[in-house]
Amino acid sequence: MSVHSTITVNLGNRSYPIVIGRKLLDGGFDLSDFVTGSDCLIVSNVTVAPLYRDRVRPNLAGKKITAIELPDGESHKTIATMQTILDQLVATGANRDTTVIALGGGVVGDITGFAAACYMRGVSFIQIPTTLLAQVDSSVGGKTGVNHPQGKNLIGAFHQPEVVMIDTDTLTTLPDRELKAGLAEVIKHGAICDLQFFGWLEQNIDALLRKDPAALAHAISRSCEVKADVVAEDEREAGRRAILNFGHTFGHAIENCLGYGEWLHGEAVAAGMVMAAELSGIAESEVQRLRSLLQRADLPTVPPPIAADDWMRAMGMDKKVQQKRLRFVLLRALGDAHFTASFDVDRLRQIVGSEA
């Protein structure tokens, strides 16, 4: 038997549960109630499919299942890859009552969700995230999409899943580097709006790094709660939701300048959060507290060498830019982020190494 907890993302008639626990695969949690019709397409990648795809089948008793494997990696997060999912749906004669299931990390989830959003203008989809990053971040909140050669996630849709099923046991097969990258987003959730959780992470970072199940379960649950609350307030990122992008303006620029996949997303966000904290003008002791926790998680806290011009160009492509003005998520204090166009331009120049 599985023991699980449930967090609800409150979005009116698009509300859905996030189910978190151990032993949910192999039929431990029945997904069939969340499948609209009788047909499912499981989308996974060449790395995850051999590990987990057959273990999802018992969760879909009585449903007709087809499957497709994508190539692995951020470099394949493209419209072309998304089209292979659409082609598969067409080839099987899938209709509006088909349910598309994303099994894998954030890349699989984002591409699959976007395909589900576009196929026949929207079919149901289910997220089964198997990386820490996807469990605490990308599988929750309905953002789906693919990269453009000139910018990350420039093409996509808001499309909420029917359910998110997080089996924390899948983290046993996750490479350490990816676990740490996922912890960057967990730490982010504490840094932007939950100082108590940030303190808990300082106490428990070693347990998390050695994959202690109870510690992981708490970190994932609290992260999902934070994200669900913020998303429920502002589904389409008109305002408050932007705080979830703390560290992401710098982080996306790092990924963009190095080429996607060179640094993992969470690694870029880690260094980006320190830069954003520095730009915030909060006490250096608070910046140091963030830096220190990230360092203990073995995450980068300084960016790679990038020319100042490249920083500015890459940040100019950020989706948060409005009226050609850069805007940032900054900290009023550790645990209290806000989204603002008001920042110290000289300090920004200093941080990105511009001569000014």
Structure tokens at 183: 């912890």
255's CB contacts (< 8 A; 6+ apart) are 152, 262, 263, 265, 268
Q: How far is the CB of 59 from its own copies (least distance, A)?
A: 21
Provide the mask over 319-348, with x wherever binding to its own copies is found by CB under 8 A and - wherever it is not. xxxxxx------------------------
Q: What are the angstrom distances between the C-alpha of 147 and each of 74, 81, 107?
A: 9, 11, 10
Of the residues 4, 55, 76, 143, only one is catalytic, namely: 143
265 is catalytic: yes
Rule CB under 8 A: choose which of 1, 33, 62, 93 binds its own copies: 93
Structure tokens at 125: 């989809």
59 is catalytic: no
Taking CB under 8 A as the rule, does residue 151 contact its own copies? yes
Taking CB under 8 A as the rule, does residue 233 contact its own copies? no
- For residues 338 and 353, what is the distance between their CA atoms, to the nearest angstrom? 24
Q: What string of DSSP letters covers 124-155?
A: EEEEEE-SHHIIIIITSS-EEEEEETTEEEEE
Taking CB under 8 A as the rule, does residue 15 contact its own copies? no
Residues 125/99, Cβ–Cβ less than 8 Å: yes
Q: Which of residues 234-293 bind its own copies (CB under 8 A)?
A: 236
| Residue range at the interface with its own copies (CB under 8 A); choices 153-161, 188-196, 250-258, 273-281 | 153-161
Q: What are the angstrom distances between the C-alpha of 212 and each of 39, 133, 184?
A: 37, 17, 17
Taking CB under 8 A as the rule, does residue 152 contact its own copies? no
Structure tokens at 41: 């397409």
Residue 308, Cβ density class (10 Å: 0-12 exposed, 13-18 middle, ≥19 buried): middle
- For residues 46 and 75, what is the distance between their CA atoms, to the nearest angstrom? 14
Cβ proximity to its own copies: between 86 and 207 the closer is 86
Q: How far is the CB of 309 from its own copies (least distance, A)?
A: 14
| Residue range at the interface with its own copies (CB under 8 A); choices 25-33, 88-96, 131-139, 218-226 | 88-96
- For residues 103 and 129, what is the distance between their CA atoms, to the nearest angstrom? 6
185 is catalytic: yes
Q: How far is the CB of 260 from its own copies (least distance, A)?
A: 15
- For residues 39 and 32, what is the distance between their CA atoms, to the nearest angstrom? 10
Q: How far is the CB of 210 from its own copies (least distance, A)?
A: 37
Q: How far is the CB of 220 from its own copies (least distance, A)?
A: 25
3-state DSSP assignment of residue 95:
coil
Rule CB under 8 A: choose which of 6, 96, 309, 350 binds its own copies: 96
Of the residues 4, 77, 152, 227, only one is catalytic, namely: 227
188 is catalytic: no
Q: What is the DSSP letter of 171?
A: G
Cβ proximity to its own copies: between 55 and 241 the closer is 241
Provide the mask over 198-227, with x wherever binding to its own copies is found by CB under 8 A and - wherever it is not. ------------------------------
Backbone φ, ψ for residue 165 (5° rounding): -115, 115
- For residues 297 and 202, what is the distance between their CA atoms, to the nearest angstrom? 10
Residues 231/224, Cβ–Cβ less than 8 Å: no
Structure tokens at 255: 């990924």
Cβ proximity to its own copies: between 82 and 273 the closer is 82
159 is catalytic: no
Cβ proximity to its own copies: between 143 and 289 the closer is 143
Of the residues 69, 74, 237, 267, only one is catalytic, namely: 237
Q: Annotated active-site positions, please?
A: 121, 143, 185, 227, 237, 241, 245, 248, 252, 265
Interface positions with its own copies (CB under 8 A): 37-38, 79, 83, 86-87, 90-91, 93, 95-97, 117-122, 143, 145, 148, 150-151, 153-158, 236, 316-317, 319-324
